[in-house]
Structures are given as structure tokens and as C-alpha cells.
């Protein structure tokens, strides 16, 4: 009844494997809606089967896919600060919003709320990955391709699966440990065992009515233990560059430190801003700030989030008659995860007023703050960077919970010979609840800083005037001087709540007209077709409490309605002729009508057409050639259209900040800096500035053209060998995104282009690019184009060891999937020029994009007890630092350290055995040799960087050891 996990892994097989048998005997292939016997895809399909998932010890499906060379890591369990708790995939590095995710051929969840945690990995039978645009077949979002999860949803028996895994790592990087020691910070333990993962699933199904019906139910539980950055050498402190030409790393950190930083915005003598720091000895004394005061925020941050997930659901079908089979499903997930970051602070950028008669100010500090106004009720404005590390403080915790529901129902059947129909409905609901804990309420902190003496007792002014009788004075004028009761007062959680809904109604007819004689006179099979209509509605409501809104999280609402009609035609032209074993063409067209409605009353309507043309030619049995063209679209999602504008952190640095800015006064004036501000602007803390993001209701759909050209070779003179080579070329015009803040800063300073310079919004008082009033504008808009091209290679070979004299020794299976990236070109705005990120990483380019990646698995099928031993080689090519290039859109401060990341090879070993009937054991070690990830300066990290590395790209936690058991009855 179930797949035997002793079978060889199908890392990358061609379209003949990416199929699903239907009850009518037809074949369904991901990438087409036509159902017919012996159908093969004209688009390249990579298939990952359940055996491969077991060999990897996978508990998350995105982790499996991220190892394939076609994918770039996206939101995952190793992203902590800033995570929304979801897991996503990114095909061809075109963004998670440009790959369409399906479950059994239907949309998974609302477009804006895709979360692969919803997919029960233990029930996945296989995953089909289709390269290139498929909007003509499935609608919007399928620009880079389609990922279709096929579930084992038709059981006749009971299947139980349990797995336990953990990480073991030796912290023996002497270079990094010496850097951490030199910084005065604590090194990670020499050896660690952590990051436990449990995954338990059970499914049961039964056929009834002589096989005309089936009911299958399942339930699962997954637990992931958190891992702190302080437990690994490469992440125990935040690395910054140092030395001549930035030739080395040093432990950096945040200027929001535990001793207390103060920037007096208007010095009482000079009128300029000046920055001080409390001394480290606890005395209420200010000294000039220097890097020795920086706070090491890294150790308490998560490099693996905690997670607890429950899944449950069921599938049912019943054939009333050949013309009417009822079907339906219900799926549920509750996923609860925490991200964790360093303790909160009075963060710089928020202006705090301190009264000059505050009894808590030290005698040496008072004149530096107030001058002649000492002892008066005059207040002075400051930036304060005081990290809350004393007794009563706690790390910040982001409590993230997703509760998802998905229902399907429909009827399908055969209405005539070769003609089938399917009428169905899909309803999905995503509920998101977030509570951000142990963070400071700036309004309460402001009241706690306004303190006067009442009969020798420091007392909040708000207690005296009755506006807040719970206020506790906040003594930030020395190290360790804060009353623990003040933490209870200033800490206040924020709450947000979101609901996203999706409803899809569809009806389709598919046919094979062979029996009706509708066919080419030179073919052996008739015309195939599929026609259908679909209506999709999506709705978003996002709410935030008053404190969350005050901190910049704003509410939003919006609705999208799509009405579509589509058709597809498969025409076999020639068959079984000399030099033409088969020649087939396929064409498809879809028209979509969109209505977008936001809460601000803006309604937009437009229509969009998508189409495709494909051909496959088999001159001889050993060779099959295929080519395709797809014109796809992606309509902007609800968030891109209607999300309220808000502020968020971005990795960047202000070249006009600091006592000695790297940019000239003339250059800085272009960004909004005044003569008085130049040389007096505080640096963005921790190389993190602020950008303003948000929606744009006037966005247009993206348009993409995809070309593929390939060959599948199955040489008869080498039995059991097959390989394919496919070229792909994808160009996305008018892509929806924000102009990269790093690019904005560089282009304004280097070229003076007014478009980029107008995106600066400096704090009018201080000139900073952080806090509530300083930021780079990065709201969504239709920008320029994305273009990527490369070559995919797959190979499969099965070899009987008996052929070389090793009788009864079993078989060897070889599976390879590799990708060569030729180009990844970006034009941020029309006609301003381009940059190519192929082979690069870092600012603007983001995560590493190597020229070559592959995964190569060798599996020994033993002749004893259905046992296997499998070795996998994961190769990730080297990359260079984008900001070291000469391209005007990429170049920045040169770095010698991290100028390149060398190629990485990981080796994974796994084994399976069936000791007794119905039971299969598996065990394995991933990252067998415990290879460290590259240590990268924090300022060079961008999307999904965490802990001085890219943890979705490189193995961040060392070797992963797992053991599992599958029982089937």
C-alpha cells in the first residue's frame, strides 16, 4: 500500500516520473491539465520522491527543496529576528512570490500566506518541480515555475512514521575563537549537541464498496528545539571588518550598549550633536563613545527557532457511477514558533526628553546635558542607546502562531469515452497571531525619564500629575543602575492579528479524441484537449493594537477577485515514421480578469492574457528533443497592493554619518544633509538603517517570457542510463519590488541621480536614517526587469554489480541533478543600466548565486533484508563579493576579507533496512564531516542572512544525526 523506503531515491527524474494515475486510468502531469494515457511533459520536470526525503531525514519540505540547485533559500527555520514564522521556497532566485505552490494540483493557501509548514512531509509521495512559466495552465504566480506536492492520500491500511534527530558540532575554528577572545567575549563550548527535532505521524485509510470509495485520515506532531547563536564559533559575536583594506574580522556589535549611550542632540555650548557613553565602572560619568562599548547582541539570538506543529486532516472519495465520483478533503495545521533576539533597549532614533532637574543625573553629566539650565524644569532632547541587561530584563521574544484550514470538495467523472470533467471548490483560511514580548513601550520609557525629587524620593512627573500612577523612575545614567521594577513598567507586549481567505471555484473538461478519429493521418494518437473556467477570491484583514501601531505596524485590508477561462491543446502530428518516432505540439491560452479593492476605496480592474507553445520531437527511441515558450504573468498580491506603509530595518550604512563621513559634503547635500549636520550625524546602529515599505494600489501585473530547449537521452546501448540537458531563459518585465536601499544610497552619492536622491527622508533634526523620522523610501512599484538563464543537467544510472563479477552484491544507483547559472541580470529601473549577480553575493545581490551547483547521490541496494546505503554529495560553487566589482550599481567599500566564498562540498550518509516485515528503519548523518559555514561580516549579509552567515544556503549547525522508523500494516 505504501512506498518502500528501501527503494532508490529519485533525485531528478524526467517527466515520465512526474505523473499521477487517476481513477479513470488517465495520466496527469504537473504542467498540463490534459489527461490521457502515456502522456509526457514538454517542460523539464524534476521529481523528488519520498525515498529522497527519508534519506535526508527531512522534517521540513523546504529543506529538501533548498538542496536542489534550482532553488535559493527563502524563509526557513534558521531565520529568527524579523521572521514571520513561515517557510517558503524560491525557484530560480526570482522570489518566493514568483513560484506557484500546489498541493495535489490545486493551490496550497492564499497567495500572500504560502507556508510550507502546512505540508505534512511524512505524507508526501513526491514533489514535482516544473521549470519556467506555467500561467497559461495554472494562472498567476507561475513565473519561475510550479512546485506540486503530491500526497499519499489513498491508503488502505495503517502507516506510522517517527523520527528523531539532533545536531552535533565541534567548535574548533581557532581563527574565529581568537577573534572572539580578543573582543573580550565568551567563546562557544568546544563541543555541543543540540537542536533536537521530533516528527511523529500516523495515517490510516480504508477502501469500501468494492474499492469504489476510500477514506484516509492522518495526524502529526513536530517539535524543534531552539539553538542560540552563542553555541557556535561563527556566530558567537557579530563580526565587523577591520584592518587595512578591511582585511580581517573583529567582534563588532551594537552601539545600543548595556552601559548606556547618549547623543545630546543640541550641545549646550556648541549647539551641535555630541555623543557620550556611561563609564563601565557604574559611576554616573560620561566619556566619549568608542567601539569598546559595543554590545555583543549575538549570543542570545536564535540560529534555529523553536517550533511546535500539529497537523491533521482527511481525504475521501466515492464513485457513485463512472460519470460521478465525489471527492473532498480537509487539512489543518497549528504551527507555533518563537524567534528570539537580544534584550530590548532604549534604541537610538527615538527622541527622549530628559528634564534638567532630574535627581538621577550624575553631577558630571548634568552640565554636559543642560549647561546653564541645570536644576530647572527645562528638558533636553537626546538619543539614548541603553541595553536592558540588568536584573529583571529578558531577551525579546516574538510569539508567532499560524492556524491554517483547507477544504476541497467536488465531483468528477467520465461523461463519454475519453472525455472527463471535474467541478470543484477550494476554501483555505490562514489565521496569524503575533505577540512581541519583552519589548519597551517608548511612551512609558519617556514618562519614566521625566523624574523629579519629592521629599528625597525620585518620582515620575506622571505620578504627581496623575496621568500614570504606575510609573517607575528609569535610572539610565549609570551601568546597572536600573531598578528591576522599572522593567516591569516599561515592558509591554504588542499584538497583531491577521486573517487571509481564499476561495476557488473551478470547472474543467479534458479529453482524448483518439476514439473519435480526431487525429493527424500520420499519428497513432488523437488530439487531446482541456478547457475550463475558474474564479478565485482572496481577502486580507490585518489588525494591530495601539502600541504596535505606535511602533510603526499599521493595519491593512484588501480583496482580489479573479475570473478566468483557459484552454489547452495537445496535437500528435507524426508517429512511427522513419526518423520520426513521435512529433507532438502543445498550445495553451488563459484570459484573466482582475478586480482589486482596498480599504482606501481604490478599485482597479484589468485583464491579462497568458499563453504557451511547446513541441517535442523523438527522432529515434534513444533521443527526445523538446522546446517550449511561455508568456506568463504575476498579478500583485494583496500585500503588495494594499499593505500600509511602515518602517523596518535593512542592512545598510549611511556614508554621510559619523565624525568623518566617507562621502563629501556636496554628495551628502544631495541626500538631504545640511551644512550644520555634516560630520554630526550618528551612524546607523549595527550597520542597520531604516527603510519605509508598503503597498501601492496602482501596481500592474508583471509579465514574463520563458524559453526552454532540451534533450532527453536514454541510450539503448547503455541499459538503465538516462540523462537530460535543458536550457532555460526567463525574463520578467515590470517586476514588482522596492528599489534596494543599498543601491539607493550608492546611486545618489555616486551619480546624483535625482530619482534615487528623492528616496531619502532624513530626520529633519538630526539627519539620521533610522528611528521614526529617518528612512529610505522602499515602497512597492513596478520596476525594471529580472532576467536569468542557465542549463539544468540530470542523470540517472542503475548498475547491477553482478555484471562485474560481484554476484549477489546488489545494485548501484546514481542520481545527479545540477544547474549552471549563466546570468542573473537586474535592471532596477527602466533604462538606467543593469547588473549581473551570477557568481556573486552580498549587498544588492543578496544570497550567494554560484555558477554551478549539484547534488549527486549514490545508493547501494543491498540484496539483504531490503537494505540500502546511500551517499549524497552536495556541491555549492564559489562566489565573489558583489560590492568589490566595478559595476556602478554594485560597487561599494572594498573588502579583502570575505572578498569571496570558496566552493563548499557536503557529504551525507544514510541507510535503510527492513529487519522484519512491515517495519523499515532508517538512519543517517548529514554534513558528515561537520563543515563550518562561512563567517561573513554582518554588514555584507542581506536577505535571510543570520548569525554572520547565510544559514539557508550553508549548513549552520554542524552534522545532523537522525534515526527513524516506518511501520505499515
Q: List the one residue out of 363, 155, 168, 384 whose CA is nearest residue 262.
A: 384
Q: How far is CA 169 from CA 165, 236, 667, 930, 958, in A?
A: 13, 14, 48, 6, 5
User: Cα–Cα distance between 159 and 330 in angstroms, integer?
Assistant: 19
Within 13 Å and on the Cβ side, how many CA atoms surround 770?
25
Q: For residues 277 and 257, is the Cβ–Cβ distance under 8 A? A: yes
| Per-residue pLDDT at 38 | 55
Q: Which cell numbers in the block locate residue 12?
A: 531528478
3-state secondary structure of 66: helix
Cα separation of 403 and 791, whole Å?
Answer: 39
Q: Which of 388, 285, 381, 391 is CA-nearest to residue 346?
A: 388
Residues 699, 781: contact at Cβ < 8 Å?
Answer: yes
Cell of 91: 525557484
Q: What pLDDT is attached to residue 36? A: 62
Q: Which of 263, 289, 264 is nearest to 277 (CA)?
A: 289
As given in the structure block, the three cell numbers for residue 319 are 464513485
Could you tell me which residues come within 8 angstroms of residue 892 by beta carbon, excluding any fewer than 6 positions away? Answer: 742, 746, 843, 883
Q: Which of 551, 557, 541, 538 is nearest to 497 (CA)?
A: 541
Give Cα separations from 610 to 107, 591, 616 (angstroms): 18, 7, 21
3-state secondary structure of 884: helix
Helices marked H in 59-114 — which ranges? 61-66
How far apart are alpha carbons 598 and 138 in whole angstroms?
Answer: 25
404 SS3 class: strand
SS3 call for 351 = strand
Separation CA 663–CA 645 (nearest Å) = 29
Residue 554 main-chain phi, psi, to 5 deg:
-110, 160
Round to whole Å and give the CA distance between 796 and 89: 25
- Look at the block and give the residue holding cell 488517465: 26
583, three cell numbers? 512529433
3-state secondary structure of 939: helix
Cell of 347: 534604541
**Residue linked to cell 481513477:** 23
Provide the strand spans (E) within 665-765.
Answer: 688-693, 702-713, 721-733, 736-737, 760-761
Q: What is the pLDDT of residue 384?
A: 96
Question: pTM of the entire structure?
Answer: 0.90
- Return the beta strands (E) in 851-916 as ranges: 852-861, 868-876, 879-881, 900-901, 904-916
What are the φ/ψ torsions at residue 298 (nearest 5 degrees)? -70, -45
* pLDDT < 50 stretches in the chain: 1-25
383-421 pLDDT per residue, tens: 999 999 988 889 999 999 999 999 999 999 999 999 999
- Provide the grid cell at 597: 479593492
- d(C-alpha 30, C-alpha 894), whole Å: 46
Q: How far apart are CA 453 and CA 473, in angstroms?
A: 11
Q: Give, in degrees to the nearest 5, the angle at Cα 273 between 270 and 278.
A: 110
What nine digits make up the cell of 100? 506557484
Burial of 48 (0-12, 13-18, 19+ CB in 10 A): buried
E strands, 344-443, are: 345-346, 351-355, 379-387, 395-416, 419-437
For CA atoms 338, 340, 343, 344, give the dihedral sign. Answer: negative
SS3 529: strand
Quote the distance between the C-alpha of residue 385 and its chain's center.
31
Residue 378 CA to residue 764 CA, distance in Å, equals 22
Amino acid at each position: 500500500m505504501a512506498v518502500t523506503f528501501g527503494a532508490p531515491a529519485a533525485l531528478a527524474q524526467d517527466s515520465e516520473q512526474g505523473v499521477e494515475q487517476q481513477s479513470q486510468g488517465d495520466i496527469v502531469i504537473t504542467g498540463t491539465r490534459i489527461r490521457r494515457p502515456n502522456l509526457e511533459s514538454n517542460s523539464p520536470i524534476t521529481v523528488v520522491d519520498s525515498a529522497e526525503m527519508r534519506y535526508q531525514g527531512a522534517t521540513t519540505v523546504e529543506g529538501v527543496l533548498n538542496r536542489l540547485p534550482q532553488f535559493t533559500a527563502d524563509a526557513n527555520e534558521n531565520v529568527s529576528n524579523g521572521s514571520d514564522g513561515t517557510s517558503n521556497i524560491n525557484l530560480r532566485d526570482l522570489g518566493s512570490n514568483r513560484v506557484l505552490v500546489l498541493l495535489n494540483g490545486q493551490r496550497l493557501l492564499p497567495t500572500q500566506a504560502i507556508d510550507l509548514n502546512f505540508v505534512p512531509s511524512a505524507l508526501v509521495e513526491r514533489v514535482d518541480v516544473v521549470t519556467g512559466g506555467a500561467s497559461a495552465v495554472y494562472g498567476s504566480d507561475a513565473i519561475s515555475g510550479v512546485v506540486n506536492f503530491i500526497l499519499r492520500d489513498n491508503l488502505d491500511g495503517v502507516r506510522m512514521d517517527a523520527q528523531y534527530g539532533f545536531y552535533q558540532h565541534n567548535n574548533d575554528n581557532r581563527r574565529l575563537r581568537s577573534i572572539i577572545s580578543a573582543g573580550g567575549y565568551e567563546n562557544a563550548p568546544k563541543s555541543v549537541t543540540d537542536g533536537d527535532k521530533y516528527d511523529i505521524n500516523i495515517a490510516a485509510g480504508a477502501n469500501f464498496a468494492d474499492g469504489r470509495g476510500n477514506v484516509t485520515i492522518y495526524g502529526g506532531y513536530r517539535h524543534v528545539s531552539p539553538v542560540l547563536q552563542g553555541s557556535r564559533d561563527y556566530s558567537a559575536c557579530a563580526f565587523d571588518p577591520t584592518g587595512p583594506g578591511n582585511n580581517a574580522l573583529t567582534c563588532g556589535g551594537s552601539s545600543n550598549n548595556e552601559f548606556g549611550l547618549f547623543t545630546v542632540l543640541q550641545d549646550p555650548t556648541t549647539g551641535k550633536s555630541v555623543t557620550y557613553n556611561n563609564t563601565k565602572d557604574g559611576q554616573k560619568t560620561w566619556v566619549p563613545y568608542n567601539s569598546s562599548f559595543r554590545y555583543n547582541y549575538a549570543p542570545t539570538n536564535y540560529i534555529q527557532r523553536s517550533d511546535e506543529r500539529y497537523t491533521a486532516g482527511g481525504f475521501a472519495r466515492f464513485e457513485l457511477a463512472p460519470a460521478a465520483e465525489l471527492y473532498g478533503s480537509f487539512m489543518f495545521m497549528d504551527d507555533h514558533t518563537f524567534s528570539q533576539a537580544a534584550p530590548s533597549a532604549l534604541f537610538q532614533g527615538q527622541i527622549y526628553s530628559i528634564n534638567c532637574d532630574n535627581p538621577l543625573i550624575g553631577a558630571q553629566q548634568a552640565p554636559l546635558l543642560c549647561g546653564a539650565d541645570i536644576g530647572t524644569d527645562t528638558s533636553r532632547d537626546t538619543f539614548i542607546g541603553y541595553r536592558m541587561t540588568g536584573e529583571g530584563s529578558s531577551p525579546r521574544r516574538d510569539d508567532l502562531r499560524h492556524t491554517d484550514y483547507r477544504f476541497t470538495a467536488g465531483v468528477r467523472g467520465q461523461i463519454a469515452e475519453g472525455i472527463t470533467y471535474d467541478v470543484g471548490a477550494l476554501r483555505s483560511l490562514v489565521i496569524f497571531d503575533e505577540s512581541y514580548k519583552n519589548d519597551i513601550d517608548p511612551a512609558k520609557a519617556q514618562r519614566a525619564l521625566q523624574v523629579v525629587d519629592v521629599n528625597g524620593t525620585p518620582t515620575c512627573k506622571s505620578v504627581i500629575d496623575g496621568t500614570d500612577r504606575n510609573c517607575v523612575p528609569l535610572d539610565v545614567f549609570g551601568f546597572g543602575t536600573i531598578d528591576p521594577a522599572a522593567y516591569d513598567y516599561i515592558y509591554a507586549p504588542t499584538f497583531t492579528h491577521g486573517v487571509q481567505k481564499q476561495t476557488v471555484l473551478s470547472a474543467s473538461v479534458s479529453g482524448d479524441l483518439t476514439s473519435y478519429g480526431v487525429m493527424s493521418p500520420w499519428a497513432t494518437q488523437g488530439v487531446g484537449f482541456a478547457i475550463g473556467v475558474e474564479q478565485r477570491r482572496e481577502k486580507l484583514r490585518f489588525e494591530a493594537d495601539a502600541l504596535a501601531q505606535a511602533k510603526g505596524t499599521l493595519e491593512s485590508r484588501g480583496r482580489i477577485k479573479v475570473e478566468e477561462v483557459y484552454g489547452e491543446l495537445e496535437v500528435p502530428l507524426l508517429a512511427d515514421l522513419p526518423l520520426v518516432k513521435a512529433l507532438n505540439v502543445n498550445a495553451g491560452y488563459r484570459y484573466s480578469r482582475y478586480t482589486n479593492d482596498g480599504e482606501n476605496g481604490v478599485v482597479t480592474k484589468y485583464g491579462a492574457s497568458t499563453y504557451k507553445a511547446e513541441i517535442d520531437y523523438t527522432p529515434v527511441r534513444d533521443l527526445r528533443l523538446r522546446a517550449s515558450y511561455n508568456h506568463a504573468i504575476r498579478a500583485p498580491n494583496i500585500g503588495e497592493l494594499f499593505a500600509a506603509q511602515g518602517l523596518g530595518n535593512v542592512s545598510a550604512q549611511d556614508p554621510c554619518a559619523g565624525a568623518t563621513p566617507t562621502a563629501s559634503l556636496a554628495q551628502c547635500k544631495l541626500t538631504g544633509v545640511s551644512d550644520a549636520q555634516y560630520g554630526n550625524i550618528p551612524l546607523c546602529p549595527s550597520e542597520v538603517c531604516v527603510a519605509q515599505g508598503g503597498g501601492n494600489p496602482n501596481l500592474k501585473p508583471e509579465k514574463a517570457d520563458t524559453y526552454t530547449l532540451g534533450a532527453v537521452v536514454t541510450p539503448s546501448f547503455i541499459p538503465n542510463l538516462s540523462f537530460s540537458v535543458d536550457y532555460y531563459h526567463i525574463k520578467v518585465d515590470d517586476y514588482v519590488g522596492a528599489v534596494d536601499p543599498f543601491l539607493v544610497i550608492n546611486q545618489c552619492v555616486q551619480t546624483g541621480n535625482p530619482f534615487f536622491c528623492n528616496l531619502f527622508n532624513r530626520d529633519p533634526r538630526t539627519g539620521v536614517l533610522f528611528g521614526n523620522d529617518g528612512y529610505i523610501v522602499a515602497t512597492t512599484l513596478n520596476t525594471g526587469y529580472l532576467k536569468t538563464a542557465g542549463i539544468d543537467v540530470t542523470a540517472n544510472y542503475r548498475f547491477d554489480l553482478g555484471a562485474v563479477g560481484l554476484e549477489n552484491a546488489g545494485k548501484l544507483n546514481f542520481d545527479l541533478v545540477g544547474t549552471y547559472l549563466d546570468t542573473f541580470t537586474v535592471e532596477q529601473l527602466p533604462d538606467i543600466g543593469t547588473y549581473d549577480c551570477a557568481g556573486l553575493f552580498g549587498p544588492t545581490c543578496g544570497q550567494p548565486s554560484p555558477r554551478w551547483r549539484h547534488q549527486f547521490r549514490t545508493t547501494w541496494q543491498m540484496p539483504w533484508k531490503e537494505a540500502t546505503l546511500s551517499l549524497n554529495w552536495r556541491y555549492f560553487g564559489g562566489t565573489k563579493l558583489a560590492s568589490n566589482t566595478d559595476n556602478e550599481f554594485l560597487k561599494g567599500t572594498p573588502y579583502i576579507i570575505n572578498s569571496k566564498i570558496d566552493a563548499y562540498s557536503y557529504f551525507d550518509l544514510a541507510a535503510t533496512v527492513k529487519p522484519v516485515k512491515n517495519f523499515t528503519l532508517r538512519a543517517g548523518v548529514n554534513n558528515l564531516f561537520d563543515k563550518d559555514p562561512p563567517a561573513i561580516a554582518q554588514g555584507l549579509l542581506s536577505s535571510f542572512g543570520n548569525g554572520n552567515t547565510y544559514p539557508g544556503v550553508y549548513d549552520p549547525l554542524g552534522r545532523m544525526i537522525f534515526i527513524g522508523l516506518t511501520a505499515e500494516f
